[in-house]
Amino acid sequence: MPPDTVPLERGLDRRDARTLSLAALGGALEFYDFVVFVFFAIPLGHLFFPPATAPWLAQLQVFGIFAAGYLARPLGGIVLAHYGDTLGRKKMFMLSVLLMALPTLGIGLLPVYAQIGALAPLLLLLLRVVQGIAVGGEVPGAWVFVAEHVPRRRVGFACASLTSGLTVGILIGSLVAAAINNVLTPAEVLDHGWRWPFLVGGVFGFIAVWLRRWLSETPVFEAMQARRELVSGLPLKRVLERHLPSVLLSMLVTWMLTAAIVVVILMTPSLVQSTFHIAPARAFLGNNVASFALAVGCLFYGWLADRIGHARALLPGAVGLLLSSYVLYLDLQAGGAHFIALYALAGFAVGVVGVVPAVMVAAFPPAVRFSGLSFSYNVAYALFGGLTPPLIGLLVRHAGVLAPAHYVAFTALIGAGVALWLLARRSGVVQNSSSCAAQR
């Protein structure tokens, strides 16, 4: 049996289910740490910049610091992936979550601008960068980890279940933000309430470290290690020398993923408050519903990918993302009468991102899979995800309130294009195989 996956014919057993459950739960706790920052963009803008700063500029600066976490992701992704391909997936899987817990706890303890002046935003930026380094190794490492624990015909659902777990982290963050905004007054949130999500998140991170002690190394890595098939030298060098088309493919689908998650799920709660004047409690209620729908959508698209193929699941999913984004923002422009229901629909449509990791896992061979996937995903996320928050902030101000929907729709078209290319390539391979068989 080649060290590409565990046996094809075997279904998910109890050990696989435990691996998927613990990986998804740990990922949820860590991703909560990473994204809760954006749900408190407005109070952070008030607290970490001079009082005379215009509200739109303060929010733009906070989005810039949020984006810095994405810009730092390639560094963590490259380093942790290198050791993941050479020393083992599990070791890096545990290290990444520890690196996330420490800065999250630190943010909750930071003094604000009124206490230490310009040093406050600089320290916030530093801790955000460390968070980015951690998540740069966490997300691609988690996808590789679960994909290499299950049969090949279950990879779509395995990756989607992990992605769904990550989105549950977003839901937890949204629930915490909604609870704080409901229980505390705006003055209390500014005084101390904003700290609690980060302090709790730091504790969550240490729980995730403990949970991952129970996971085992992937059978694929153990098989490569036993057969001495691990890459000597730099795995990333081999990726860049031999697998550039796979890198480009992975970057394009990651662009769609970043737009869907960052704009529709993470930025919309703040945008609907500042741009469409939706009350904070209603904004976060909508985000709670949308995040839950996203978790369900990931599982649906992962299930679909295992049954009809990754490309065939990606194509209608990308079209659904395009349409639902426009419907949501057109309703908001008209007053937001159906905001909750349409946000839930958009959240489910964002679930197409559950197909993306399976596409990337299949694009690289096992020996360089972690490095190839991590480099492609993190560089694309740093470029597109990092620039998206400040870009959307500027576009909304200068190009109109539908700018977020236009941006998501553009990336959805890219995702649809990738799906069509994969289908055409597969059709060409099948035709070539048939032709060779006929000649024989």
Contacts of 63 (CB under 8 A, 6+ apart): 38, 41, 267, 389, 390, 392, 393
Task: Domains for the chain: give ranges and CATH numbers.
Answer: 14-439 (1.20.1250.20)
Supply the pTM of this predicted model: 0.79
User: What is the pLDDT, as a whole number, of residue 73?
Assistant: 81
User: What is the pLDDT, as a whole number, of residue 433?
Assistant: 47
Q: How many CB atoms lie within 10 A of CB 434?
A: 10
User: What is the pLDDT, as a whole number, of residue 11?
Assistant: 53
Contacts of 360 (CB under 8 A, 6+ apart): 140, 143, 249, 250, 253, 254, 373, 376, 377
Q: How far is CA 341 from the centre of its chain?
A: 23
User: What is the pLDDT, as a whole number, of residue 429?
Assistant: 52
User: First vs last Cα of the chain: how many Å apart?
Assistant: 27
User: What is the pLDDT, as a whole number, of residue 302?
Assistant: 94
Q: What is the pLDDT along the chain (440 residues), one digit of tens a residue?
A: 444 544 444 555 667 677 777 777 777 877 787 778 877 888 888 888 888 777 778 777 887 887 787 778 888 888 888 877 888 777 787 788 888 888 989 999 999 888 998 898 899 999 988 888 888 888 888 888 888 888 888 889 989 988 888 888 878 887 888 788 888 888 888 888 889 999 988 888 888 788 777 777 777 778 877 887 777 778 888 899 899 999 999 999 999 999 999 899 888 888 888 888 888 888 888 988 998 999 999 999 999 999 999 999 999 999 999 999 999 999 999 888 999 999 999 999 999 999 999 999 999 988 888 899 999 998 998 888 778 878 887 888 777 888 899 999 999 999 999 999 999 987 765 455 444 444 44
User: What is the pLDDT, as a whole number, of residue 7?
Assistant: 46
* Beta-bridge partner residues of 59: none
User: What is the pLDDT, as a whole number, of residue 4?
Assistant: 54
User: What is the pLDDT, as a whole number, of residue 35?
Assistant: 76
